[in-house]
Amino acid sequence: MRLKAFSRLLFLATAMLMAGLASAEYQLNLKPAKTALGEAVYDLHTLVMIIITVIFIGVFGFMFYAIFKHRKSVGHQAAHFHENTTVEIVWTVIPVFILIGLAWPATKALLEMRDTSAPDMTIKVTGYQWKWGYEYLDDDVKFYSSLATPRDQIQGDAEKGEHYLLEVDKPLVVPVGKKVRILTTANDVLHAWYVPELAVKQDAIPGFIRDTWFQAEETGTFRGQCAELCGKEHGFMPIVVNVVSEDDYKIWVAEQKSAGGAAAYDPGKTYSVAELTSAGEAVYKAHCVACHQPNGSGMPPTFPALTGGMISTGPIANHLDIVLNGSKKNPMMAAFGAQLSDMEIAAVVTYERNALGNSLGDSLQPGEVAAARK
Amino acid sequence: MSQSVLKRNRETLRKLVVVALLMFGFGYALVPLYEKICEVTGINQVVKPDTVVNTQVDKSRTIVMEFDANARGDIAWELIPRERKRTVHPGELVHVVFDLKNTTDVSVQAQAIPSFGPQRAGLHVKKLECFCFTQQEIRAGESRELPVVLVVEPTIPQDVHTVTLSYTMFEVGGTQEPKTAMRPTGGNG
Amino acid sequence: MEAVHEHDHSHDHPTGLMRWVTTTNHKDIGTMYLWFSFAMFMVGGVMALIIRTELFQPGLQVVQPEFFNQMTTLHGLIMVFGAIMPAFVGFANWQIPMMIGAPDMAFPRMNNWSFWLLPPAGTLLVLSMFVPGGSAGVGWTMYAPLTVQQGMGMDLVIFAVHILGMSSIMGSINIVTTILNLRAPGMTMMKMPLFVWTWLITAYLLIAAMPVLAGAVTMTLTDRHFGTHFFNAAGGGDPVLFQHIFWFFGHPEVYIIAIPAFGVISQVIPAFSRKPLFGYASMVYATASIAILSFLVWAHHMYTVGMPVEAQLYYMFATMLIAVPTGVKVFNWVATMWKGSMTFETPMLFAIGFLFLFTLGGFTGLVLALTPVDVQLHDTYYVVAHFHYVMVAGALFSAFAGVYFWLPKWIGKMYDETLGKWHFWLSIIFFNLTFFVQHFLGLAGMPRRIPDYSLQFADFNMISSIGAFGFGLSQLLFLYILIKAIRSGEKAPEKPWDGADTLEWTHLPTPAPYHSFETPPTVK
Ligand SMILES: [Cu+2]
């Protein structure tokens, strides 16, 4: 009997798989939650899994008993019953009670989950194709957060780092133990803000705001991803939340305000090509690299090459115009005027002209960008 | 098949086709139905003036009103609330101002869509005057003050302490739509 | 009913290709549905393998993200509308007239049209990959406003969905009419085989749900090209509205796929247990209540869009309620096996596989019904695992059971029992290898529809991809078994299955003649 030998082999393989899973520490369950609400969700999941397992074993215990005992090959004669009102009522009513038992904790957790009242702070999260925008409504801090994993890791040209695809240039920073209310919206299509360990997932809908909340109970770095299909880079817009002590949070906010990120510049100063080029690299990686590629080769004809490109090596005013206002001819080139600061635009334009295989040597000053905006 | 069966078949066919057509219509009927449900539950705000039922100021409660604004599309414009936050009493008349700035060199036809967080609060915040009631034409380089007058009704549920009013400004029939419409989920290299 | 045998068929059928193009015979049309469905199953399967190849390890190796998105979209649409649904319509065509003692379907000409709409629709779906910009990369759910950004491929997909919907509606009208009006004398509603009952209920679901989908994609089309703003906030619309309309169709759609599968299983299990189906009446009522409930729970697919909490509570309770009639069905099947005299030929193996794994998928459905848990698991691989347990281990395994069960009746030859068993064991092992580990991925937080993932997900994805290839290759064995049976199968006995007791086994010779029941049998 080849089949018998085969099924024995199968049994062995399954046993080995189970042993393997048990020995190596695989993540087989929800990740342990870092919020009280997350714990409630975790417990609810455990409860429903216990109920399911018990019913499963019960029902299929009967089935496998029947399969082994009530088979023709052991000479079992078929009975002829085909209904039993009592039994049928029992197995309709008992599940109803089990479900009521489940609905109770589920309702409690749900009401808790949707209670966004009395927050300690509010952060607006905006989904963009393909990055996140964060705006602290109480502290007046605002920035974009995009994938920091280098493209060569994704293409397999470099070894993948520990936090491959789950690392960003600027993480969200929040204080521990505070109720953080998240308002979500989106710029273009649907996105969803999802951080498993904080038990948060909320769709971001263009034109409308939605709210959710979390209150982290320990400090640490928590990583998540966009959970709603939003186009080609959907898999490449991670979320990183740094939960820090309240003091550290205050220091961080102060830093943000004084530095103003790359947005601040000294209006009296003339920046050198080198300064702008080095500042521009980060901007390029955050906003341009998905289409124009790390080396500037683009994907012609849709996404033209910047290396030796018509615009990136042409008059600098045209170059500035297309970055600021988008392209009139090629609808794929978006306007970045609203997203990037004067300094960032000056830096990225200079970078594109003096890196990626170009070396024009000219530069754009942030003041000129401000002037071009009128 | 006998005539009587054929006749019955045609009759059944007729009924089922009517059902199918009605269900197609029902798909479309879901559109106004959804709008109505959203209006009743306060999910989406209809863009028209509200009438206030009760203007009795309730000094015993305070509500934190947060203001937020977004300007969409690939054009350089800004919509900013002049103040981020105001603490108000239910029943009190609240005046707030949003600043709209068009930094492009073309004039823009714009429509703002309001949205509330939490959504159910929207039912109890009445807008008496709002720039979202009409389309706005903003000329090239123009800055404009956009006023909103609203009342938080005393009927607002007791457990609501913070209400966010968020506006999203869209360009009407502008360059935004064809732009996004033609942007493919392009290549990555 | 004295004149039923005056059926106006001509006995000089065209031969060759034209026979198939012009045929109005329910058996021919059933055969074409089944082969079409198998072809689409192969096409959708290749797409699944492209997806699993890309996901074999982290990084982008084989395809680009936009093509990956097109693959997930087309895989879903082709499997749901091109493979699973036509397969069961194929069963309906072959079996319903024979099981109720009717000479053919009520509208044979319309039957021909509803089949011949399918190949153009399938072609459109495949063609959409080759237009500029490629096919739609929006997921089979086609959520707005991502659909507005797509190229011409999106329009082709929309047209394909229109045509597929048209075909389904026509097929369903035919089925309802046949069942209501063409039953043999004495075949009362409550004497109909359960397979017929499930199809009657399914056909009503289709007639009610498909037009709503047609409406949703039409609105998408006009939003794209004709300046409407159904789903665009800028014009006063709302993207979330699309999801409501889609899932108003989409949830019944799940049962449109599952309920005929229940029907097949309800024929197979009694036959191989040599014992009548336990609780026939309660099976009918449970199926009907599942169908009605399916129209009342759609927004449980939308727990994260930010509905009012009252609505979430309602959808949670209503969804949990579906567990009751579904439980009744499972209990009834087990009770049918209880104290039977079972044998385990391939159809029975697939039926047991169905019972075991579909129940597992039902249980994860209960987990997902709980809103707070679903918020964690929504749009992750947990959901992917869940619906593949329902769609593959549920519907597909049931279809396999049906093919092995009825093949002797259809072609008069037996399939190779040993190979059939191999097909079952390979399928069930590789199926679980592919999809069981996806539960773990989802619990750990891996979103669905991503072409690349972080390193923590690497091992389970590799296992899943290996399983997928095994599963795909196992289906080539199925094709071989079919061809072998058709070409050189042993002659089937008149009644190969002891316990089969429906009209096609008791009143018709094997294989079933081209025209059957031209004089209706009398059912006692
Ligand atoms: Cu996204």
Residue of C4, C216, C308 with shortest CB distance to B43: C308
Greater confidence (C414 vs B100) lies with C414
Three-state DSSP at B67 gives strand
DSSP C491: B
Percent with pLDDT over 70 in chain A = 89
Contact C100, C21 (CB under 8 A): no
Catalytic residue among C26, C162, C183, C329: C329
**How do residues A304-332 score in pLDDT, each as one tens digit?**
888 888 888 888 888 888 888 777 777 66
Q: Is residue B176 part of a domain?
A: no
CA distances in angstroms from C240 to A55, A136, C158, C320, listed in the order given: 37, 26, 19, 23
Mean pLDDT within B150-161: 82
Percent with pLDDT over 90 in chain C = 71
Q: Chain B partners of C182 at a C-beta cutoff of 8 Å?
A: 5
Helix C26-54 / helix C85-100 crossing angle, nearest 10 deg: 150
- Residues B64 and B147 reside in one and the same domain: yes
Q: Which pLDDT band holds residue A104 (cuts at 50, 70, 90)?
A: very high
What pLDDT is recorded for position A51? 92
Distance, in Å, from the CA atom of B119 to the CA atom of A152, rounded to the nearest integer, reads 43
Say whether B104 and A325 touch across the interface (CB within 8 A): yes
- The one-letter code for the residue type at A91 is W
C289 is catalytic: no
Does residue C443 register a pLDDT over 80?
Answer: yes
> Range of B90's domain?
47-171
What pLDDT is recorded for position C230? 87
- Residues B69 and B83 reside in one and the same domain: yes
Q: Which pLDDT band holds residue A256 (cuts at 50, 70, 90)?
A: confident
Q: Is residue B179 part of a domain?
A: no
Mean pLDDT within B3-17: 86
Say whether A62 and C334 touch across the interface (CB within 8 A): yes
Distance, in Å, from the CA atom of A59 to the CA atom of A66, rounded to the nearest integer, reads 11
Greater confidence (C150 vs B48) lies with C150
**Residue A186 backbone phi and psi in degrees, to 5:** -140, 155
H helix runs in C59-145, sequence order: 65-77, 85-100, 108-116, 118-127
Q: Between A and B, how many CB-CB pairs are < 8 A?
A: 116
C168 is catalytic: yes
Q: Is residue B100 part of a domain?
A: yes
Catalytic residue among C73, C128, C198, C266: C266
- Residues B94 and B140 reside in one and the same domain: yes
Partners of chain A (3+ Cβ pairs below 8 A): B, C
C304 is catalytic: no
In chain C, which residue's Cα lies nearest the Cα of A89? C328
Q: Is B171 on the interface with C (CB under 8 A)?
A: yes
H helix runs in C182-230, sequence order: 194-225
What pLDDT is recorded for position C369? 93
What pLDDT is recorded for position C195? 94
Beta-bridged to residue C332, according to DSSP, are: none
Catalytic residue among C75, C275, C378, C413: C75
What pLDDT is recorded for position A23? 47
C238 is catalytic: no
Mean pLDDT within B17-38: 84
Three-state DSSP at A170 gives coil
CA distances in angstroms from C170 to B21, C79, C82, C113, C182, listed in the order given: 12, 20, 15, 8, 17
Three-state DSSP at A159 gives coil
Does residue B35 register a pLDDT over 80?
Answer: no
Residue pointed to by tokens 């509330």 = B116
Residue pointed to by tokens 């779906």 = C125
Q: Which pLDDT band holds residue A355 (cuts at 50, 70, 90)?
A: confident
Please name the helix (run of DSSP H) or strand (run of DSSP E) that holds residue A145, with its range, or none. Answer: strand A141-145
Say whether A325 and B84 touch across the interface (CB within 8 A): no
Distance, in Å, from the CA atom of C379 to the CA atom of C366, rounded to the nearest integer, reads 16
Residue pointed to by tokens 């097909």 = C423
CATH no. for residue B166?
2.60.370.10
Pairing of strands B93-102, B143-152: antiparallel
pTM over 0.80: yes
Name residues whose C-beta falls within 8 Å of residue A2's C-beta, 6 or more positions apart in sequence.
Answer: none
What pLDDT is recorded for position B179? 33
Neighbours of A85 (CB within 10 A): 9
Mean pLDDT within C334-352: 93
- Residues B15 and B69 reside in one and the same domain: no
A206 alpha carbon to ligand 1 midpoint, in Å? 12
What mean pLDDT value characterizes chain C?
Answer: 90
Does residue C42 register a pLDDT over 50?
Answer: yes
What pLDDT is recorded for position B33? 82
A46 alpha carbon to ligand 1 midpoint, in Å? 30
What pLDDT is recorded for position C6? 41
- Residues B73 and B108 reside in one and the same domain: yes
What are the structural domains of chain A?
A: 17-114 (1.10.287.90), 121-259 (2.60.40.420), 262-373 (1.10.760.10)
- Give A 158-177 residues with CB within 8 A of chain C: 160, 162-166
C495 is catalytic: no
Say whether C145 and A95 touch across the interface (CB within 8 A): no
Contact C119, C82 (CB under 8 A): no
Q: Strand (E) positions, chain B?
A: 63-71, 77-81, 85-88, 93-102, 108-117, 125-130, 136-138, 143-152, 162-171
What are the structural domains of chain C?
A: 21-506 (1.20.210.10)
Q: Is A230 on the interface with C (CB under 8 A)?
A: yes
What mean pLDDT value characterizes chain B?
Answer: 76
Does residue A238 register a pLDDT over 90?
Answer: yes
- Residues B149 and B120 reside in one and the same domain: yes
CA distance B117 to chain A (A): 6
Percent with pLDDT over 90 in chain B = 1
What pLDDT is recorded for position A260? 54
Greater confidence (A140 vs C299) lies with C299
Q: Is B40 on the interface with C (CB under 8 A)?
A: no
Greater confidence (A115 vs C6) lies with A115
Does residue B181 register a pLDDT over 50?
Answer: no
Range of weakest confidence among A164-168, A338-342, C227-231: A338-342
Catalytic residue among C168, C198, C380, C502: C168
- Residues B53 and B25 reside in one and the same domain: no
Q: How many domains does chain B have?
A: 2
Q: Is residue B177 part of a domain?
A: no
Range of weakest confidence among A10-14, A168-172, C96-100, C110-114: A10-14
Distance, in Å, from the CA atom of A350 to the CA atom of A26, rounded to the nearest integer, reads 47
What pLDDT is recorded for position A219? 92
SS3 content of chain C, % helix, strand, coil (to 5): 70, 0, 25
Q: Is A103 on the interface with C (CB under 8 A)?
A: yes
- Residues B37 and B51 reside in one and the same domain: no
Q: Is A337 on the interface with B (CB under 8 A)?
A: yes
Q: Is residue B21 part of a domain?
A: yes
Does residue A140 register a pLDDT over 60?
Answer: yes
Q: Which pLDDT band holds residue B175 (cuts at 50, 70, 90)?
A: very low
CA distance A233 to chain B (A): 8
Say whether B103 and A373 touch across the interface (CB within 8 A): yes
- Residues B15 and B105 reside in one and the same domain: no
CA distance B67 to chain A (A): 9
Please name the helix (run of DSSP H) or strand (run of DSSP E) that holds residue B118, with its range, or none. Answer: none
Largest CA distance in chain A: 99
Percent with pLDDT over 70 in chain C = 97
Does residue A36 register a pLDDT over 60?
Answer: yes
The number of C-alpha atoms within 13 Å of B187 and in the hemisphere containing its C-beta is 16
Distance, in Å, from the CA atom of C88 to the CA atom of C172, rounded to the nearest integer, reads 11
Range of weakest confidence among A53-67, A87-101, B38-52, C228-242: B38-52
- Residues B57 and B36 reside in one and the same domain: no
Residue A281 in tokens? 């690299």
The ipTM estimated for the assembled molecules is 0.88
Helix C381-388 / helix C346-369 crossing angle, nearest 10 deg: 140
Partners of chain B (3+ Cβ pairs below 8 A): A, C
CA A284 to chain centre: 21
Range of weakest confidence among A27-36, A226-235, A330-339, C7-16: C7-16
What pLDDT is recorded for position B185? 31
CA distance B41 to chain C (A): 8
Does residue A152 register a pLDDT over 70?
Answer: yes
Greater confidence (C150 vs C354) lies with C354
Mean pLDDT within A150-157: 86
A224 alpha carbon to ligand 1 midpoint, in Å? 12
C452 is catalytic: no
Does residue C175 register a pLDDT over 60?
Answer: yes
- Residues B113 and B65 reside in one and the same domain: yes
- Residues B63 and B130 reside in one and the same domain: yes
Pairing of strands B85-88, B63-71: antiparallel
What pLDDT is recorded for position A13? 61
